[in-house]
Amino acid sequence: MSRTIVQPPPHLKLQSFHGIFTAAPEMEALFTKLRRIARAHCTVLLGGETGTGKELVARAIHAESPRRRAPFQAVNCATFSPTLLESELFGHVHGAFTGAVRDRQGLFALANQGTLFLDEVAEIPLDLQGKLLRVMQEKTFVPVGGTRPVTVDVRVISATNKPLRREVAEGRFRDDLSYRLRVVPLYLPPLRRRDGDVEALFWQFVSELNHQGMRRIDGVTRTAMDAILAYPWPGNVRELRSAVEYAFVVGEGPTLDVEDLSPELRGEPTPGMPVGSLAEMERGRILAALARHQGRKAAAAADLGISRTTLWRKLYAHRLR
Ligand SMILES: Nc1ncnc2c1ncn2[C@@H]1O[C@H](COP(=O)(O)OP(=O)(O)OP(=O)(O)O)[C@@H](O)[C@H]1O
Ligand SMILES: [Mg+2]
């Protein structure tokens, strides 16, 4: 096992925009864009894999906007039944349905003058989509069971893991609403495509957790860092943070080693693991096998079930030599 210890690079250039940390130049370009978008009142549709920071970005846009002193409200559209979602968004009057014992304000009313974040917007049922379109176009809605329209001024930011165009093509989403929601579409790149961010965010989270006093980590073995860098991070920043927390809980001492990493990160296959590209998966498995066998190629090849020559060829192809 390589006991070379990696320490936080002394000139780690980490930017933060309302809690969104990054060292990647393309993310800094995104921050500039976010500042401009924040000034306008247009809708924003955020796309990107799970854990890429869509909600964080929605909050950042609100915090940078002239609406910052008014409320920011968020709702995950996938977690409500259709009836409950309507009442959650638009409120209800007492007696509207069993259990509606008093008038209740919905999120559109609560977010008045501010911003409403609709997470997993593709899950809004078709019959509710018309009502959503109306409040966005005419700024009015009628609470469930009510008769009088309510007027609001709310900026809508939404997020989706599913491509809205496909939902439209397959008849599950109104195209007029999709245009309305997608005035500014923004795609958050996966963590594995953000140059330098895996390492930078790793140290950021280590430093945050060091302050909690559970453990103090000031270095990482080269082998562990290689496994971290090779991993495709399907759960993105959320998963990276959890991995660091895992190391703080299961390990001890000032140096983080491979034993402090979760089985996925060590390259031990877990059932149904959704990951990035096949090439990225392969690269990760190879690095992890090398880590398990202290860099001995014959043993790593045997572990992977491939010949030594194949391993050499793959090391070359992945530029791991
Ligand atoms: N660049 C970042 N710097 C620091 N923390 C981040 C960053 N990106 C995301 N996080 C953290 O990772 C977690 C996931 O972020 P968030 O909820 O915004 O992701 P999401 O894209 O909305 O995910 P999902 O699609 O699963 O809803 C949060 O705890 C958030 O604070
Ligand atoms: Mg989210």
Please give the Cα distance from 176 to 253 (Å, whole number): 57
Give the ligand 1 atom nearest the CA of 188. 21
Say what the pTM is: 0.83
Dist. CA 118 → ligand 2 center (Å): 9
> If we measure between CA atoms, which residue out of 149, 152, 154, 144 comes closest to residue 117?
154
Whole-number Å distance between alpha carbons of 154 and 65: 12
If one compares 316 and 234, the residue with the highest pLDDT of the two is 234
Is residue 270's pLDDT more than 70? Answer: no
Read off the tokens for 34. 């976010």
Structure tokens at 75: 């709702």
Q: How many residues does the chain have?
A: 321
Would you call 29 exposed, middle or buried from its count of C-beta atoms within 10 A (0-12, 13-18, 19+)? exposed
Q: What percent of the chain has pLDDT over 70?
A: 96
Ligand 1 pocket (Cβ < 6 Å) reads: 20-22, 48, 50-56, 119, 161, 237-238, 241
| Strand (E) or helix (H) holding 271 | none
Q: Report pLDDT digits (tens) over 283-301.
A: 888 888 887 787 888 888 8
| Mean pLDDT score, 239-245 | 96
- Number of Cβ within 10 Å of residue 97's Cβ equals 11
> How much is the pLDDT for 276?
58
- What pLDDT score does 2 carry? 57
**Fold (CATH) for 5-14+194-317:** Helicase, Ruva Protein; domain 3 (1.10.8)
Question: For residue 209, what are the contacts with CB-CB under 8 A and spacing of at least 6?
Answer: 215, 217, 244, 245, 248
- Ligand minimally distant from the alpha carbon of residue 51: 1
pLDDT tens readout for residues 152-207: 999 999 999 889 999 999 999 999 999 999 999 999 999 999 999 999 999 999 99
Q: What is the pLDDT of residues 10-59, one digit of tens each?
A: 877 899 999 999 999 999 999 999 999 999 999 999 999 999 999 999 99
CATH architecture entry for 25-187: 3-Layer(aba) Sandwich (3.40)
Ligand 1 atom closest to the CA of 16, numbered from 1: 3
- Six-digit token pair at 167? 């939902």
- Check pLDDT > 90 for residue 95: no
Q: How many Å lie between the centroid of ligand 1 and the Cα of residue 279? A: 25
Of residues 76 and 100, more confidence is placed in 76
Distance 55 CA to ligand 1 centre (A): 7
State the burial class of residue 263 (Cβ atoms within 10 Å of its Cβ: 0-12, 13-18, 19+).
Answer: exposed
CA angle 178, 180, 185 (to 5 degrees): 75
pLDDT at 275: 52
Residue whose Cα lies nearest atom 29 of ligand 1: it is 238
**Strands, E, within the chain: which ranges?**
5-6, 15-17, 20-22, 44-47, 72-76, 115-119, 140-141, 150-151, 155-160, 184-187, 219-221, 255-256
For residue 303, the CA-to-ligand 1 centroid distance in Å is 35
Q: Where are the domains of the chain?
A: 5-14+194-317, 25-187
Which one, of 92, 78, 51, lies nearest residue 233 by Cα? Answer: 51
pLDDT in the model for residue 10: 82
Ligand 1 atom nearest to CA at 52: 21
Task: Compare 23 and 320 and report the one with higher pLDDT.
Answer: 23
Which ligand has an atom closest to residue 162 CA? 1
Please report the pLDDT score of residue 97 as a whole number: 87
